[in-house]
Amino acid sequence: MNFFNILAEPVGVSHYLLVGAVLFTAGVVCMVIKRNALGVLMGIELVLNGANINFIAFGSPVLRGESTVSIGLDGQAIALFVILLAAAEAAVALAITLNFYNNHATVDVDRAEDLKG
Protein backbone atom coordinates (compact mmCIF):
# COMPACT_ATOMS: atom_id res chain seq x y z
CA MET A 1 0.00 0.00 0.00
CA ASN A 2 1.16 3.45 -0.73
CA PHE A 3 0.41 4.65 2.74
CA PHE A 4 2.65 2.16 4.38
CA ASN A 5 5.53 2.76 2.00
CA ILE A 6 5.95 6.09 3.71
CA LEU A 7 7.45 4.34 6.65
CA ALA A 8 10.11 2.86 4.44
CA GLU A 9 11.13 6.13 2.91
CA PRO A 10 13.58 8.63 4.38
CA VAL A 11 12.00 11.49 6.31
CA GLY A 12 10.56 14.05 3.84
CA VAL A 13 7.78 16.49 3.39
CA SER A 14 5.07 13.87 3.47
CA HIS A 15 6.03 12.75 6.91
CA TYR A 16 5.73 16.20 8.23
CA LEU A 17 2.43 16.60 6.46
CA LEU A 18 1.21 13.42 8.03
CA VAL A 19 2.10 14.66 11.48
CA GLY A 20 0.46 18.04 10.67
CA ALA A 21 -2.69 16.29 9.47
CA VAL A 22 -2.84 14.16 12.60
CA LEU A 23 -2.44 17.26 14.74
CA PHE A 24 -5.06 19.14 12.70
CA THR A 25 -7.56 16.37 12.92
CA ALA A 26 -6.95 15.94 16.57
CA GLY A 27 -7.51 19.69 17.06
CA VAL A 28 -10.73 19.65 15.10
CA VAL A 29 -12.04 16.65 16.94
CA CYS A 30 -11.09 18.30 20.17
CA MET A 31 -12.98 21.46 19.19
CA VAL A 32 -16.02 19.47 18.30
CA ILE A 33 -16.27 17.20 21.24
CA LYS A 34 -15.07 19.37 24.11
CA ARG A 35 -17.83 21.32 25.89
CA ASN A 36 -15.33 23.06 28.06
CA ALA A 37 -14.27 26.33 26.48
CA LEU A 38 -10.66 25.79 27.53
CA GLY A 39 -10.71 22.44 25.76
CA VAL A 40 -11.98 24.08 22.64
CA LEU A 41 -9.18 26.61 22.87
CA MET A 42 -6.68 23.81 23.14
CA GLY A 43 -8.21 22.25 20.02
CA ILE A 44 -7.70 25.54 18.25
CA GLU A 45 -4.08 25.60 19.27
CA LEU A 46 -3.66 22.08 17.93
CA VAL A 47 -5.23 23.06 14.63
CA LEU A 48 -3.00 26.09 14.31
CA ASN A 49 0.08 24.10 15.12
CA GLY A 50 -0.90 21.40 12.66
CA ALA A 51 -1.05 24.09 10.04
CA ASN A 52 2.22 25.51 11.25
CA ILE A 53 3.96 22.19 10.70
CA ASN A 54 2.76 22.26 7.10
CA PHE A 55 4.19 25.74 6.60
CA ILE A 56 7.49 24.67 8.15
CA ALA A 57 7.66 21.55 6.06
CA PHE A 58 6.94 23.32 2.80
CA GLY A 59 9.21 26.18 3.80
CA SER A 60 12.29 24.01 4.37
CA PRO A 61 14.56 23.75 1.32
CA VAL A 62 16.16 20.75 2.84
CA LEU A 63 12.91 19.00 3.03
CA ARG A 64 11.86 20.20 -0.44
CA GLY A 65 15.19 19.00 -1.85
CA GLU A 66 15.95 22.34 -3.40
CA SER A 67 18.89 24.42 -2.38
CA THR A 68 18.98 27.46 -4.59
CA VAL A 69 15.58 29.01 -5.04
CA SER A 70 14.56 31.28 -2.19
CA ILE A 71 16.03 32.87 0.84
CA GLY A 72 14.41 29.91 2.57
CA LEU A 73 12.53 31.76 5.21
CA ASP A 74 8.99 32.25 3.78
CA GLY A 75 7.38 29.23 5.48
CA GLN A 76 9.05 29.94 8.76
CA ALA A 77 7.99 33.60 8.65
CA ILE A 78 4.39 32.67 8.22
CA ALA A 79 4.71 30.12 11.01
CA LEU A 80 6.01 32.86 13.25
CA PHE A 81 3.02 35.01 12.32
CA VAL A 82 0.70 32.15 13.14
CA ILE A 83 2.33 31.68 16.56
CA LEU A 84 2.00 35.36 17.19
CA LEU A 85 -1.64 35.37 16.14
CA ALA A 86 -2.29 32.23 18.23
CA ALA A 87 -0.94 33.99 21.27
CA ALA A 88 -3.02 37.09 20.66
CA GLU A 89 -6.06 35.02 19.89
CA ALA A 90 -5.57 32.94 23.03
CA ALA A 91 -5.39 36.10 25.07
CA VAL A 92 -8.62 37.46 23.61
CA ALA A 93 -10.35 34.07 23.83
CA LEU A 94 -9.34 33.57 27.45
CA ALA A 95 -10.68 37.07 28.23
CA ILE A 96 -13.96 36.18 26.60
CA THR A 97 -14.06 32.90 28.47
CA LEU A 98 -13.37 34.62 31.77
CA ASN A 99 -16.17 37.10 31.14
CA PHE A 100 -18.46 34.32 30.15
CA TYR A 101 -17.64 32.55 33.35
CA ASN A 102 -18.31 35.70 35.31
CA ASN A 103 -21.71 36.02 33.73
CA HIS A 104 -22.85 32.44 33.60
CA ALA A 105 -20.73 30.71 36.25
CA THR A 106 -19.70 28.08 33.74
CA VAL A 107 -17.42 27.59 30.78
CA ASP A 108 -19.68 25.14 28.94
CA VAL A 109 -19.84 26.38 25.36
CA ASP A 110 -23.20 24.69 24.85
CA ARG A 111 -24.64 27.08 27.35
CA ALA A 112 -23.53 29.97 25.22
CA GLU A 113 -26.66 30.07 23.11
CA ASP A 114 -27.26 33.81 22.95
CA LEU A 115 -26.32 33.92 19.28
CA LYS A 116 -29.08 31.51 18.39
CA GLY A 117 -30.99 32.81 15.40
Partner 1 sequence: MELEQTLPILLGLAWITPLFSFVAILFFGPRMGTHGKNAASVATAAIVCSFVFSLSALLMWIGVHGMSGGSHGSHHVLLTDSQTVLVAGSAQWNLADHQASGSEDASEAVHPAHDADAAGVQPEDAHNLHHSPDSSDSHGAGAHVPISYSGDWYTLFKVGSLELTIGWYIDALTLLMFVVVSLIASCIHIYATGYMHDELHEVIDHEVHLVAGGHLHRPGRFSRFFQSLSLFCFSMFGIVIAGNLAMIFIFWELVGICSWFLIGFYYERKTASNAANKAFILNRVGDFGMLIGLMALWGALGTFRFADSVTMSLDDGKPVVAKGLFNLVRPAENDHQLIVPDGMVKASASGEIAGIMIEHATRPRDGESELKSRISQWRSDGLGSWLLIVAGLGIFCGCVGKSAQVPLHVWLPDAMEGPTPVSALVHSATMVAAGVYLVGRLYPILAPEVLLVIAYIGMITLVIAATIAMVATDIKRVLAYSTISQLGYMMLALGVGGWVAGLFHLITHAFFKSLLFLCSGSVIHACHTNDMRRMGGLAKVMPWTAGAMLIGCLAIIGAGIPFVIGFSGYYSKDAILAQSLSFVQNNPSHQILFLAAAAGASLTAFYMFRLWYMTFAGEPRDHHVAEHAHESPLIMVAPLVVLSFFAVVAGWSFSGEGGLTGLLEQARPAGTSEGASHGLLQVSLMIPAEHESHQGAVHRSATLVAFTTAALGLLAATSLYLWKFVSVELLSRMFGPLVIFLSKSWYFDELYSFLFMKPVLLVSSLASGTDRHAIDRFVDGIAWCARRLAVFDDWIDRFVVDGVVNATAHATWNIGLKMRDFQTGKVRQYVMFIVIGTIALFVLASMLWNSTIAG
Least spacing, CB of residue 110 vs partner 1, in Å: 6
Residue 9 found at the interface with partner 1 (CB under 8 A): no
Residue 25: other Cβ atoms inside 10 A: 13
Residue 78 found at the interface with partner 1 (CB under 8 A): no
Least spacing, CB of residue 15 vs partner 1, in Å: 22
Report the C-alpha gap between 96 and 21 in whole angstroms.
Answer: 29
DSSP H helices, 34-112, are: 37-59, 61-64, 74-104
Q: By CB under 8 A, name the one of 40, 41, 48, 53 that touches partner 1.
A: 40
**CA distances for 44 relative to 33, 85, 90, 109, 113, angstroms:** 12, 12, 9, 14, 20
Residue 35 found at the interface with partner 1 (CB under 8 A): yes
Near partner 1 by CB under 8 A, which window of 15-23, 28-36, 51-59, 61-69?
A: 28-36
Positions touching partner 1 (CB under 8 A) are: 28, 31-35, 40, 109-110, 112-117
